[in-house]
Structure 1
Amino acid sequence: MRALAEDGTEAQAVEEGIGTPILVIHGGMGDRTVWQPVTDLLRDRFRTVRLERRRYRMDLPGPSTMAQEVGHVAAIAAQLDQPVLVGHSSGAVVALEALVANPGAYAGAVLYEPPVVIGAPLSDDKLARARAAIAQDKPGRALSIFLRDVVRMPAPLAWLAGFIVGRHPEYRQRVVRQLDDNDALDALGVRLAAYAELKMPILLLGGDKSPRHLAERLDALEQTLPNTRRLLLHGQGHNAERRAPQRVAKAIAKFIDENAAPH
């Protein structure tokens, strides 16, 4: 799917299946392929649409604003009939902002651990060393710093992820976009009052092995959103779309069956 966004750039997505539309917004460092294990399990019953997020499109210049990202969501959603948004990590914050911008365009949402600001900024000046590593052409080190200090991943795992990415030409380019992504989330500030106005059904997903601060952000959303439920994925962390796609797909399908009218 292709559609012209308000900023004049082309929004792109991959569409499969028929039925109630699901518009998937991937998380940081990723692309539309990350959620394919989940949508492969849904496309027999649903019309799955995986967005290529504007921020992580290497064919478009960066950095992009949150409004521009929301514009790409809106451009694709306009070709669908009130899709259910599925957002992961920073993509779930994009989903929330899309809901605020045009709530009537969406039937509901499934949000997997959105790192919304609930107090202090996410980075709180922790990215200076990561930016310095970028300036030294060490994107792998920059990502390790980000994962350790902002995501709060255990240091050995953060180092390993940075080491792998540092050796992968494609993903080296995405590290700068990831840091920009974090800056865009911080620039939003605390948006709980805006989210409190969202009336559509929203399912919050979280893993009991995810960093604790993500559960705290889900706590804040659960207390704020007027029409929400929460599902804990036992034994999973922040990447269940890869490690347990069957469980994620089942949760999405059940949510749609119970909350969204069939198309």
Structure 2
Amino acid sequence: MRTRGVLVKGRPGVWTRRLLAMITTIVFDVGETLTRDDRHWGRWADWLDIPRHTLSALVGAVVAQGRDNADALRLIRPGIDLRAERAEMERAGLSEFLDDSDLYEDVRPGLAALRDAGYAVHVAGNQTARAGGLLRALDLPADSISTSAEWGVAKPDPDFFERVIRVTGAAPASILYVGDHPANDIVPAKRVGLRTCLIRRGPWGHLWADEPDVTPDWHIDSHHDLLPLLASSGA
């Protein structure tokens, strides 16, 4: 494993050199990290026959309360069975869909630049199995694309990040996980020894980025920021 030395202060007046693993592998979350969630929530609003702005506002409200974003749907229809409702949407021809228009503009060039620089690039997020197939069909510059439904375990379960380690084949300290959600991405990834980067994107990334309890290794505003940041930090 490649390492770099950094000086850290120990007891008064004494500095020691600590070895840190060099980052070799970068793993990206999906929703509001690589893809916009506009189509997803718009589809739900249309299905539930409510204005799209109403659902967006409710998503923002539950996010601000630290709740699951699906609680916005439960506020509209208490007791809703989301799995059954998704199946009804499928039967009605409203299947989940993704294309290039759902990607943020910096995704393809940002991921490609990282691969060109020698980093392994992977994608792993809380998504359906269908979303996994749709993402792979987009031919992103990534070594692998995986979803929680395909793995049978979802964030923030630490087993999700243990699976990330197994799939990438990299040492935990050499993996950087990039996501927008502090509770789902940053905190659990750090607990299993991964390095972390919070992207200020989507409601979570903007709302919680500067909270004192949110302590990723780095913050970025765009995927274009990541390669220069890693180069300047020696990571």
Please tell me the TM-score bracket, short chain as reference: 0.3 to 0.5
Structure with larger Rg? 2
TM-score of the aligned structures, taking structure 2 as reference length: 0.40
TM-score of the aligned structures, taking structure 1 as reference length: 0.36
